[in-house]
Amino acid sequence: MGDTRPRPDREEVQLVIDGLGQIGGSGARFMARFLPIDIHEVSAIVDADPQAVCEQAVNLVSEDGDLVAQRQPSPGVLEVRGLIGAGTARLNPTVVTVRVAGHDGGGSHVEVRAVAKEGLVKQHAGERTATRYLDELTAGSRPPRDGTSG
* pLDDT digits 0-9 by tens, 11-61: 998 999 899 888 888 888 888 888 888 999 999 999 999 999 999 999 999
Flag whether 5 is in a domain. no
Domain containing 80: what range?
10-138
Query: What is the length of the chain?
Result: 150
| Whether 38 contacts 9, CB under 8 Å | no
Neighbours of 51 (CB within 10 A): 12
Flag whether 3 is in a domain. no
Closest CA to 92 of 114, 113, 67, 117: 117
DSSP 3-state of 52:
helix
Flag whether 146 is in a domain. no
Flag whether 18 is in a domain. yes
Flag whether 150 is in a domain. no
Cβ-count burial 62-100 (b if 16+ within 10 Å, e if not): eebbebbebeeeeeebbbbbbbbbbbeeeebbbbbbbbb
Q: Who has greater pLDDT, 36 or 70? A: 70
pLDDT confidence of residue 145: 39
Flag whether 122 is in a domain. yes
Over residues 68-87, mean pLDDT: 94
Per-residue pLDDT reduced to its tens digit, 80-135: 999 999 887 787 899 999 999 999 888 999 999 999 988 767 778 899 999 999 99
Q: Who has greater pLDDT, 78 or 32? A: 78
Q: Whole-prediction pTM value?
A: 0.85
Flag whether 70 is in a domain. yes
pLDDT higher than threshold 60 for residue 150: no
pLDDT confidence of residue 2: 60
For residue 126, the one-letter residue type is G
| Whether 109 contacts 100, CB under 8 Å | yes
pLDDT higher than threshold 80 for residue 149: no
| Whether 45 contacts 134, CB under 8 Å | no
Flag whether 86 is in a domain. yes
Q: What's the CATH code of the domain at 42?
A: 3.30.310.10
pLDDT confidence of residue 141: 55
pLDDT band at 1 (very low <50, low <70, confident <90, very high): low
Domain count within the chain: 1
